[in-house]
Structure 1
Amino acid sequence: MSREIAAPGPVRAAGALVFAQGVAALVVAVIALVRGIAGGAPGDLAYGEAGIFAVIALAFGAPGLLLWQGRRGARNGAVFLQLLVLGGVWYQFNPAESLPVDLLFTAYCLAVLVLLFRASSRAWAMGVTEEESQQPR
C-alpha cells in the first residue's frame, strides 16, 4: 500500500540537519587538505584525514539530501548515523574537558531523532497518511 506522500515538515527539517552535518565534515576535509598542501601538517596524515572526512561528508550528505527530497529509504540511514554519533560522543565523554561540546552534539542528534520519530514522520515512512496510521486495523 505504499504510495507517494509528500514528506512532512519534520522529515525535511531532519534532512536539513543531517545534511548540515555532512557540510561540516566537508569543511573539515577541505581544511585538512589545505593544511597538508601548505605544509602545516605531515602530508600523508593530512591527506588521509581529508579522505576520511570526505567519506563522512558523503555518508551524512546523501541521506540528508534524500530526506529533504522525500525519499523514505534515507530515514533508516539518518537514524543509524545519529545513533552512531551519539555512541561516539558518549564513549569519549569526559565531564572535566568537554561537557558543553558533548551536550551540544547530544542535543543536535536527539533533535534529529525526535524529528524522525514524530507521528507524521513515522506515518510517512510507512507510506500512509497520519490519519490512516492511527486507524485501528
Structure 2
Amino acid sequence: MQDFALDDRLANDSVSVTITGLCDVRLMKDCRWPWLLLVPRRPGISEIFDLTPLDQVLLTFETNKVGAALKTVTGATKINIGALGNIVRQLHVHVIARFEGDTNWPGPIWGHGRAEPYADEDMNSFIAKLRETLSQ
C-alpha cells in the first residue's frame, strides 16, 4: 500500500471519512446527495477484476457495510452502487443515497447540475454519524 496514491480529482472532490481494511471511504463534497466513494488502497488498479480474489471479497463486504450504514444514517429510499471510472480510471465505487423527489430523481446523478458544497457543520456532523454507524 505504500505505492498507493489517491487520484487528484478524487482527493479534490471528496473528504476521507474512514479507512477500512481495504478502502479509503470518502464523502463527495456535494450535498445534493449523500454520496460516498470506496477507493481500494491498491496501486495501479482500475477494474474490480484487477484486485486479488481476497481483495474482491473485501471490497464486496466493505461496499455492503458502507451501503447499509448510509441507508441507516439517511433513511434513503434506495442506495445506488456503481463503479464507472470513465473519467477517473483509479478504481472507486460510488455508494449514493437516493430519495424520491431528490434532485433529478429517478434519473442518474452524473452530469446533473453543479456540485453544491456542504456547510462545514453539516459535513462534520454527517461524517461523525457515518463513523459511528460504521464502527458498530
Bigger fraction of residues in strand: 2
Which of the pair has the greater relative contact order for Cα pairs under 8 Å at 6+ separation?
1
Bigger fraction of residues in helix: 1
